[in-house]
């Protein structure tokens, strides 16, 4: 394929439910026709590229994959009032049993919070909401608003009981936000659905968080192009994932300063150092989670944390300083 632009996250809402087979490689053998599909889901454009024997197989498998993403959105969305995630908000001081899938994701998120000392935190929902409103109104939240939201955030206030598979919140006014991992997880799940349909040579692009299956026929991997300040870098990847976090599209600009949609839950403030973080990992959930975490952590400390993770590489571009740091395994 010609390469994916990871920064092209701008989406057009009228693409809703666009389901198209756009490319049939001319003269390719039956088992290696290339198909591409797109659908607007989870507030972003999901793309599926796959190789299949025929169009019927390709369309059937991609429909099932998109249906799985939609199902996940109904569980994980913080925007949908009726999502399972938002039902958990009723669990103030009273445990609520949740689905195995939601429990597992919250458990993994808590593990990330412990590892990162709270730099990654899915209980930062009140702060995320406050800064989201700030972006809408073009203003920085007031210090007392930030203080109130901070009191309602903190991963230690989220209690998980594995035996009962239940969740409990220690304070009222808490909100959970899986925005830092949901797209990556959805990409992993969509790839799994395609595999269940017998299609393993596939790629899922969840608005810039990309999960890759087996390589295209006759190729060593999928070409994924990263657009960096130092020019393009093309990665050749298979059976892996790559995720990028940055403030390119969602930010607030006040007084010449850019406030990211990613915030430091420890201070309550949106990030201002204009970073671009890319993570390669075995799966998209992990890549997505660490791309967000490495946006918040002090860069060297963050890279030290990930240095021991197997099959893992990271790149941190500090655009306000014009510096780039990479982990030892970075290609």
In the complex, the smallest distance separating the C-beta of residue 256 from ligand AMP, rounded to whole angstroms, is 22
Among 240, 260, 234, 264, smallest CA distance to 249 is for 260
Binding residues for Mg ion restricted to 288-327, rule: CB under 5 A: 288, 291-292
**Cβ proximity to Mg ion, 112 vs 140, nearer residue:** 112
**Cβ proximity to Mg ion, 199 vs 242, nearer residue:** 242
- Tell me how far apart the alpha carbons of residues 125 and 149 are, in angstroms, rounded to a whole number: 8
In the complex, the smallest distance separating the C-beta of residue 196 from ligand AMP, rounded to whole angstroms, is 26
In the complex, the smallest distance separating the C-beta of residue 1 from ligand AMP, rounded to whole angstroms, is 24
- 279 near Mg ion, judged by CB under 5 A: no
In the complex, the smallest distance separating the C-beta of residue 301 from ligand AMP, rounded to whole angstroms, is 15
Residue nearest to ligand AMP (CB): 179
- Tell me how far apart the alpha carbons of residues 113 and 37 are, in angstroms, rounded to a whole number: 35
The option from Mg ion, ligand AMP, none interacting with 242 (CB < 5 to 8 A, set by class) reads none
Among 25, 52, 23, 26, smallest CA distance to 37 is for 23
| 270, two tokens | 């949106």
- In degrees, rounded to 5, the angle at the alpha carbon of residue 257 between the alpha carbons of residues 145 and 135 is 45
Helix (H, G, I), strand (E, B) or coil at 83: coil
Burial of residue 62 (CB within 10 Å: 0-12, 13-18, 19+) is: buried
Q: Which residues face 278 on adjacent strands?
A: 244, 315
The option from ligand AMP, Mg ion, none interacting with 296 (CB < 5 to 8 A, set by class) reads ligand AMP
**Which residues have a Cβ under 8 Å from the Cβ of 145 and sit 6 or more positions away?**
130
**Cβ proximity to ligand AMP, 62 vs 295, nearer residue:** 295
- Tell me how far apart the alpha carbons of residues 231 and 223 are, in angstroms, rounded to a whole number: 16
- 191 near Mg ion, judged by CB under 5 A: no
**Cβ proximity to Mg ion, 167 vs 285, nearer residue:** 285
Among 314, 17, 264, smallest CA distance to 121 is for 264
In the complex, the smallest distance separating the C-beta of residue 80 from Mg ion, rounded to whole angstroms, is 19
- 116 near Mg ion, judged by CB under 5 A: no
Contact set with ligand AMP (CB under 6 A):
120-122, 124, 128, 177, 179-180, 245, 261-263, 265, 288, 291-292, 296
The option from Mg ion, ligand AMP, none interacting with 154 (CB < 5 to 8 A, set by class) reads none
> Contact 81/90 with Cβ under 8 angstroms?
no
> Contact 3/223 with Cβ under 8 angstroms?
yes
Among 302, 294, 253, smallest CA distance to 275 is for 294
**Cβ proximity to ligand AMP, 32 vs 104, nearer residue:** 104
**Cβ proximity to ligand AMP, 216 vs 268, nearer residue:** 268
In the complex, the smallest distance separating the C-beta of residue 7 from ligand AMP, rounded to whole angstroms, is 12
The option from ligand AMP, Mg ion, none interacting with 226 (CB < 5 to 8 A, set by class) reads none
- 78 near Mg ion, judged by CB under 5 A: no
- Please give the residue ranges that form the binding site for Mg ion (CB under 5 A): 180, 288, 291-292
């Amino acid at each position: 394929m010609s390469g994916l632009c990871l920064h092209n996250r701008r989406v057009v809402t009228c693409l809703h439910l666009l389901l198209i087979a756009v490319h049939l490689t001319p003269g390719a053998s039956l088992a290696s026709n290339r198909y591409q599909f797109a659908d607007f889901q989870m507030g972003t454009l999901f793309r599926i590229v796959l190789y299949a024997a025929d169009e019927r197989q390709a369309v059937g498998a991609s429909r099932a994959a998109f249906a799985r993403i939609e199902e996940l959105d109904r569980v994980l969305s913080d925007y949908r009032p009726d999502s399972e995630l938002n039902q958990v908000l009723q669990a103030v001081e009273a445990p609520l049993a949740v689905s195995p899938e939601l429990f597992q994701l919250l458990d993994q998120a808590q593990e990330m919070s412990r590892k990162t000392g709270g730099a990654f935190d899915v209980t930062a929902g009140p702060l995320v909401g406050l800064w989201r409103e700030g972006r809408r109104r073009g203003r920085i939240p007031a210090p007392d608003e930030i203080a109130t939201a901070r009191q309602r955030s903190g991963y230690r206030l989220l209690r998980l009981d594995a035996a009962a598979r239940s969740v409990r919140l220690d304070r009222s006014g808490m909100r959970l936000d899986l925005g830092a991992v949901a797209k990556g997880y959805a990409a992993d799940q969509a790839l799994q659905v395609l595999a269940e349909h017998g299609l393993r040579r596939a790629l899922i692009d969840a608005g810039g968080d990309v999960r890759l299956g087996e390589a295209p026929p006759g190729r060593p991997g999928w070409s994924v192009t990263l657009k960096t300040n130092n020019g393009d870098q093309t990665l050749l990847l298979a059976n892996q994932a790559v995720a990028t976090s940055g403030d390119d599209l969602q930010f607030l600009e006040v007084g010449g300063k850019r406030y990211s949609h990613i915030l430091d839950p420890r201070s309550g403030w949106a990030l201002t150092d204009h970073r671009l973080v890319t993570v390669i990992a075995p799966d998209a959930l992990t890549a997505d989670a660490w791309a967000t975490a490495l946006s918040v952590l002090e860069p060297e400390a963050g890279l030290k944390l990930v240095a021991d993770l197997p099959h893992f590489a990271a790149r941190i571009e500090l655009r306000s300083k014009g510096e780039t740091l990479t982990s030892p395994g970075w290609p």
